[in-house]
Structure 1
Amino acid sequence: MKLAVLRETAQGETRVAAIPETAKKFAALGARVAVEAGAGAAASVPDGDFAAAGAEVGSRAEVLHDADLILCVSGPEPDSLAGARAGALLIGALDPFRRADAVRGYAAAGLQALAMEWMPRITRAQSMDILSSQSNLAGYKAVIDAAAAYGRAFPMMMTAAGTVSPARVFVMGVGVAGLQAIATARRLGAQVSATDVRSATREQIQSLGAKPIFVEGVAGIEGEGQGGYAGETSDEYRRAQAELVSSHLSKQDIVITTALIPGKPAPRLISDAQLATMRPGSVVVDLAADAGGNVEGTVCGERAQRHGVTILGALNLARSLPADASALFARNLYNFLSAFWDKDSGGAVLPADDEIVRAITLTRDGQVVAERLASA
């Protein structure tokens, strides 16, 4: 079975879908690995390292020719896959909700497209979960970027010239990114508080040494939303949360927002009026910027100023750590494929009725088959 690794062409994409470590592991399974020239350059992985790991290096046309598996990070445009054989598997972060035309193009080309970001949150799929691995890095980098933009120190410092007070950091949304942001801010010496609509996260916040800030007496979401993510809340809860957040924000130096609802615009957590209560020099990092933003005034991919507050419209922060992000992403892909690898046939066998396969499959046999797209 031939496995092709593409060079990413999406603007700003720095990651690669395989690293020499996983190329060697795929070869050990019996796969023939072909890597497009320059695929790992932005992630500090030269072509020679792939060749040393046993991979072939060539042009896109050479890599795609007769490939059974096509690995990517960001979903490529369908016309860039000319030459790929019908029935090949295209595996990566395909952004199905926002790239419906591309998904239809994959179907028309006869590709079986698998969206790794739709990996179900179940125990046996944890090692395959690209959202968790990349969000972990994004949460870390959000704090680092905030510290770089903040005009003061994070930890308390007692000096002969006086005491420097610690920064106050407030994390809104305690998923993977939020938990890493809490941990990183704590390591830097900040006083950290956090909130979430899921009451089950209270203990997680406390376990990291942060203060939980929760709406009391008003029910949040029912359960945890689809796949373990937060869902939408009631009007009553949103009003109570806005009141609580307003009183807390005015005392904060740095705020990091991470709230996302799959397939829908990001919920608005901070209004312009609330921003105006923060002291000048404060910093807000909006990790939901490319989904519309949690913060009023966020500009995706840019730094904005409102009421003396700096708003960083974070755009896929994992890309700013390309070596580590690529390594984690590549291992997620390897863990997925190796779990379905059949030694007798020498390739990946994906049963259509398997829970994981069913959840991530977008196209098959020339048709768009994902139920989530049909209902979107």
Structure 2
Amino acid sequence: MILGLLKEHGKENRVALLPEIVKTFTDMKVEVLVEKGAGENAFTPDGDYEAAGAKIGSRADVFKKSDVLLQIQPPADEDIQKIQKSQVWISAFNPLWDTDLVKTFLKDGVTTFSLDLIPRTTRAQAMDILSSMATVSGYLAVLEAASKLPTFFPMFMTAAGTIRPANVLILGAGVAGLQAIATSRKLGAQVQVFDVRSAVKEEVKSLGGKFVEVEGATEDKAAGGYAVEQTEEYKQKQQQAINDIAAKSNVVICTAQIPGKKAPLLLPAEAVERMKPGSVIIDLAASTGGNCELTKNDETVVNNGVSIIGQSNYPSQMPMDASKMFGKNVLNFMKLMITEEGALNLNFEDDIVKGTCITHSGEIYNERVKSLFENK
């Protein structure tokens, strides 16, 4: 099998595999063909890939010769037509959101795997790119908030008086939210956390955060640890609680998302109006509409002195470690599909392989994606 590693397009600085992971693949008798310059934005020269046993080729070579095509981002429009029916495409293309791309893959008969839909099971934890990348996002969100805030994060006792610690509100206690709690506490801030899932309360408290409880939340064990849609009555109570706490906060970090749907609106414009000038909002859900009503993806909006930063791709700003984590997840996943002889084996008897497969032989394999098309 030939595994083709593509260079990312746009502003993406990560690369799907670093040389240390390439070496593991070559030891597994897999030939790795790397597009020239694929790792340069992650500070990894072509020579490092060659030293790990990979071959370097042009983008055209990778598309022409590879059995499996690998990159982080979805294919660019000009690349979709280059994917051959006999090839397998692996990336993170958010098929619950980008259904048009799924339709294209179906029409073209391409076999695709979307790494952002790896089942959230104990066995699949070592393959979970969402958790890995959310760790980076939660960490960097706090650092950017601290750098933009016109006050200190920790409390200081000085000859000039006492500096009170920053108040941080974190919306959503998934992996990004939990990392944001840990980082905020290490920097000395006081942290309050909101999440509709009561199960995360103990995790929040263990990291030093105060869990904000709003009674009446709907929870669904079948949602695989994700948040679900809530009743209108609950949303009203939730909104009032968030608005009141946000008004007293110096920093709000928004991380709440629902797979396949627009991000829940948790911070309306009127709540932002009540916040103190100089406050900072970091919205990690910007690419799916944002938790803040005033968020614009990849932009910073200033409203009444409050900075609203829409940023959905912090991992690209830490390309070396983010690429290292992503590549290890990819390796653990692909081990399920590589034989001892280094051949590709699409074992759909494996629940992780089947659950991550989006299209194959003109059919949709992932049940959640399939349900979107059946309900239309």
Tell me the TM-score normalized by structure 1. Answer: 0.95
1:131-152: CA deviation from partner (whole Å, max 9, x where unpaired): 1100110000100111111111
SS of the aligned residue for 2:274 comes to: coil
> Deviation of residue 192 (structure 1)?
1.0
Q: Identify the match of residue 341 of structure 1 among 308, 325, 338.
A: 338
1:239 aligns with 2:212: no
Q: Identify the match of residue 293 of structure 1 among 290, 294, 304.
A: 290
1:169 aligns with 2:172: no
Q: Identify the match of residue 272 of structure 1 among 250, 264, 269.
A: 269
Query: Corresponding residue for 1:329?
Result: 326
Aligned ranges 1:245-284 → 2 under 5 Å: 245-284=242-281
Structure 2 stretches of 5 or more lacking a match?
Answer: none
Letter paired with 2:61: E
Q: Identify the match of residue 317 of structure 1 among 314, 318, 329.
A: 314
SS of the aligned residue for 1:33 comes to: strand
- Aligned partners of 2:187 and 2:275: how far apart in 1? 22
Query: Corresponding residue for 1:112?
Result: 111
Q: Identify the match of residue 359 of structure 1 among 341, 348, 355.
A: 355
Query: Corresponding residue for 2:63?
Result: 64
Q: Indicate how the Cα distance of structure 1 residues 37 and 82 shifts in structure 2: closer, same or farther if over 3 A, else same.
A: farther
> Deviation of residue 99 (structure 1)?
3.1
SS of the aligned residue for 2:102 comes to: helix
Higher mean displacement: 316-325 or 98-107: 98-107
Aligned ranges 1:77-92 → 2 under 5 Å: 77=76, 79-80=78-79, 84-92=83-91
1:56-94: CA deviation from partner (whole Å, max 9, x where unpaired): 001012122331111110011364255554332211102
> Deviation of residue 305 (structure 1)?
1.3
Aligned ranges 1:31-46 → 2 under 5 Å: 31-46=30-45
Query: Corresponding residue for 1:129?
Result: 128
Q: Is the 8 A contact 2:117 2:356 kept in 1?
A: yes
Q: Is the 8 A contact 1:78 1:106 kept in 2?
A: no
Query: Corresponding residue for 2:4?
Result: 4
Aligned-pair Cα RMSD in Å:
1.6
SS of the aligned residue for 2:139 comes to: helix
Q: Indicate how the Cα distance of structure 1 residues 81 and 246 shifts in structure 2: closer, same or farther if over 3 A, else same.
A: closer
Q: Indicate how the Cα distance of structure 1 residues 276 and 224 shifts in structure 2: closer, same or farther if over 3 A, else same.
A: farther
> Deviation of residue 355 (structure 1)?
1.3
Query: Corresponding residue for 1:21?
Result: 20
SS of the aligned residue for 2:238 comes to: helix
> Deviation of residue 224 (structure 1)?
4.8
- Aligned partners of 1:248 and 1:272: how far apart in 2? 15
SS of the aligned residue for 2:50 comes to: helix
Query: Corresponding residue for 1:48?
Result: 47
Letter paired with 2:96: F
- Aligned partners of 1:300 and 1:351: how far apart in 2? 38
Higher mean displacement: 272-281 or 194-203: 272-281
Higher mean displacement: 138-147 or 243-252: 243-252
Q: Percent identity?
A: 42
Q: Is the 8 A contact 2:219 2:227 kept in 1?
A: no
Query: Corresponding residue for 1:221?
Result: 218
1:298-337: CA deviation from partner (whole Å, max 9, x where unpaired): 1111111122211111131111111111111111100101
Structure 1 stretches of 5 or more lacking a match?
Answer: none
> Deviation of residue 346 (structure 1)?
2.1
Letter paired with 1:8: E
Q: Is the 8 A contact 1:224 1:231 kept in 2?
A: no
- Aligned partners of 1:200 and 1:329: how far apart in 2? 27
Q: Indicate how the Cα distance of structure 1 residues 83 and 12 shifts in structure 2: closer, same or farther if over 3 A, else same.
A: closer
- Aligned partners of 1:294 and 1:94: how far apart in 2? 21
Aligned length: 372
1:258-307: CA deviation from partner (whole Å, max 9, x where unpaired): 10000000000011111122111111111111100100111111111122
SS of the aligned residue for 2:71 comes to: strand
- Aligned partners of 1:220 and 1:273: how far apart in 2? 23
